[in-house]
Structure 1
Amino acid sequence: MTGKSENTPKSRALGAELRECRFETGLTQQQLADRIGVSYVSVSRYETGSRSPKPEDVAQLLTVLGVTGDRYSRLVDLSRGADQPNWLDTGQGIRKELTRLIEFERTATKITDVAIGVIPGLLQTADYARSVMADMATDEIEPYVAMRVGRREVLHRKNPINFDAFISENVLRDRFAGAATMLEQLRHLESMAELENVTINVIPAVSERWHPAHAGAFIFFDFAKTTPMVHLEHYASGVFLYGDDEVSPYRSALATLQQVAMDRDQSAKLIATTARELEGADP
């Protein structure tokens, strides 16, 4: 088998799904490698995304793993163009979207989430997440919530990622989830902000200058050994940017937002004040 060295978002997403398929069979990387006639190093590189297999290679892997039907077709199709730096992901259901995000969160050293419409996913409570997903099919909501809550593990593991969040002040005051749920969410933010590896900066609702957050939300991923990546989430699709020319402006945008946003202590005080106001106490 041959393939190209990538570490692109699409090759890493494909690798995560191939690893999931292998786990379901109970095979080790060495056992799978023996069955398809390659070294376990090749299998490892495919699963990490550092080398993307060709569609025909993916087809062989899936056949050995017993993957058939729609899943087989989808993964072979996912392998096409995996060497391209940027990726428009139209998604294949909420589980597959989260499989991809979980993979990037798991391997990142730092994540910076610029949240303009909702609380960042890694900081959401279960009830808040249910409210965000209110227009989804009923049978998808609970699996999504379980996976979203499970994603918090990267913030609490032995070597946790560093997580920075820029949250619009308007997000803190929005009550689409209901007052009780929003109060619980604000209290959760207070608790999370106490972690050494988590920094929350609030972007004031009123600004006298244009800044990058006016252009929309995005998530910036830093990795130890590969190029940074940016995720742009839309209503029914997402875009992953990987090329240096595409990613660099977002790095500059974060520097600008650092100047615009409240600092860590100011942000913590505003979150606490907003929570007190919501529960009817004196600010």
Structure 2
Amino acid sequence: MRRTTGGAPKARALGAELREAREATGRSMRALARDLETNHVKLQRYETGEIVPKPELVATYLTALGVSAAERDRLVEMARDADQEDWLSTTKSGSRKELTMLVEFERTATNISDIATGVIPGLLQTADYARAIMHGLPLNEVETLVLMRVGRREILAKKNAPRFTAILAESALWELIGGREVMVEQLEHVIHMSERPNVDVRVVRSGATRWHPAHMGSFTVYEFAKANPIVHMEHYRSSASLTNSGIANEYLNAVQDLTNIAMSTEQSIEFIAERIDNLKEAR
């Protein structure tokens, strides 16, 4: 077996998919461990990404669960380099595989900082807004993906929930994705979520006279109690997850810089409320 360096992004994603495959069959971890003649603690470490199983073990694991050959081959290939610090995925943004990975990051994080320059962060999205963003995906997949995305925000209400900071570029408030009514509901939901003690929403105004990190695009930083931070960036046909400690610290510094130039929490919520009023008046 190969140990990861504190839960690399691809190792966490692989573990999440192994757990999802097991849970889909209704099998407990202990029952599967008995079938594989191994210890359930070892399986738990595979499913959390703490340890990367050998490709051969992944094949055995999935065969015992009755997973299709195509899915088995995909995850076996995924295991070959899952202990690498950084991971570039060519899965389309918003896909089921990407959402499964993000749920795993969110489930184990202690702090999440989401810098959103174009759209509202996933953890704050309403169903209709998420559905509008997924325009272009196969219709038979959209509703499942919307449920997954909306379900992600429950992580903010659990016991020992992570601290979530959303820093929104003003431009994200002006894009009427889904139409005026959808955007009004979406912004009202952002204000509602900001009332949670572990959620902080800030707005960076447009018209800056000096460069700042948000000019380079959106990114999310996940911090963990016992692992290096993970920086995640999404693009149209790819995403990147980075866990190199030096790079992660630079992004944490960028979050602090943006926090310093953003409006205060109170000013930001008032600004969003004014945006809602303007949208309602224009109906």
- Per the TM superposition, whether the score is higher than 0.5 is yes
SS at match of 1:152: helix
Q: Any residues of structure 2 matched to 1:226-245 within 5 Å, and which?
A: 226-245=227-246
Find the counterpart in structure 2 of residue 152 from structure 1: 153
Find the counterpart in structure 1 of residue 30 from structure 2: 30
Q: Distance in 2 between matches of 1:164 and 1:158?
A: 18
Find the counterpart in structure 2 of residue 122 from structure 1: 123
Q: Distance in 1 between matches of 2:36 and 2:56?
A: 12
Shift, 1:266, TM fit:
0.7
Q: Distance in 1 between matches of 2:4 and 2:232?
A: 21
TM-score under structure 2 length normalisation:
0.95
1:161-193 deviation line (CA, Å, top 9, x unaligned): 211000011111111321111111111111111
Shift, 1:59, TM fit:
1.0
RMSD, aligned α-carbons: 1.4
TM-score under structure 1 length normalisation:
0.95
Please identify runs of 4+ aligned residues in structure 1 that moved more than 4 A. Answer: none
SS at match of 2:110: strand
CA contact (8 A) 2:233 2:241 kept: yes
Find the counterpart in structure 2 of residue 108 from structure 1: 109
Q: In terms of mean alpha carbon deviation, does 177-186 or 22-31 score higher?
A: 22-31
SS at match of 1:190: helix
The aligned amino acid for 1:13 is A
Q: Distance in 1 between matches of 2:209 and 2:18?
A: 49
Q: In terms of mean alpha carbon deviation, does 109-118 or 30-39 score higher?
A: 30-39
Q: Distance in 2 between matches of 1:41 and 1:83?
A: 19
Q: Give the fraction of aligned pairs with identical amino acids, expressed as a percent.
A: 47
The aligned amino acid for 2:231 is V
Shift, 1:158, TM fit:
2.4
Is the counterpart of residue 57 in structure 1 residue 54 in structure 2?
Answer: no
Is the counterpart of residue 4 in structure 1 residue 27 in structure 2?
Answer: no
Q: Distance in 1 between matches of 2:186 and 2:50?
A: 38
Find the counterpart in structure 2 of residue 202 from structure 1: 203
Shift, 1:24, TM fit:
2.2
1:41-99 deviation line (CA, Å, top 9, x unaligned): 21111011100001111111111222122111111111110110000011278111111
Shift, 1:3, TM fit:
2.8
Q: Distance in 2 between matches of 1:136 and 1:61?
A: 31
The aligned amino acid for 1:61 is Y
Q: Distance in 2 between matches of 1:76 and 1:21?
A: 13
Q: Distance in 2 between matches of 1:188 and 1:151?
A: 15
Find the counterpart in structure 1 of residue 16 from structure 2: 16
Q: In terms of mean alpha carbon deviation, does 55-64 or 20-29 score higher?
A: 20-29
The aligned amino acid for 2:204 is I
Q: Distance in 2 between matches of 1:181 and 1:57?
A: 47
Q: Distance in 1 between matches of 2:18 and 2:230?
A: 21
Q: Distance in 1 between matches of 2:67 and 2:45?
A: 20
Find the counterpart in structure 2 of residue 263 from structure 1: 264
The aligned amino acid for 1:137 is P
1:96-122 deviation line (CA, Å, top 9, x unaligned): 111111111111111110000100011
Q: Provide structure 2 residue ranges, at least 5 long, that are not aligned to the other structure.
A: none
Q: In terms of mean alpha carbon deviation, does 266-275 or 67-76 score higher?
A: 67-76
The aligned amino acid for 1:19 is R
Q: Distance in 2 between matches of 1:99 and 1:279?
A: 36
1:227-281 deviation line (CA, Å, top 9, x unaligned): 1100010101110001112212101101110111111011011001111111118
Shift, 1:137, TM fit:
1.8
Is the counterpart of residue 66 in structure 1 residue 66 in structure 2?
Answer: yes
Shift, 1:31, TM fit:
2.1
CA contact (8 A) 2:2 2:83 kept: no
SS at match of 1:118: coil
SS at match of 1:271: helix
Shift, 1:13, TM fit:
0.7
Find the counterpart in structure 1 of residue 96 from structure 2: 95
Q: Distance in 1 between matches of 2:4 and 2:238?
A: 26
The aligned amino acid for 1:62 is L
SS at match of 1:205: coil
Shift, 1:27, TM fit:
2.4
SS at match of 1:32: helix
Q: Distance in 1 between matches of 2:142 and 2:248?
A: 32
Q: Distance in 1 between matches of 2:68 and 2:181?
A: 45
Q: Distance in 2 between matches of 1:60 and 1:95?
A: 24
Q: Distance in 2 between matches of 1:26 and 1:131?
A: 33
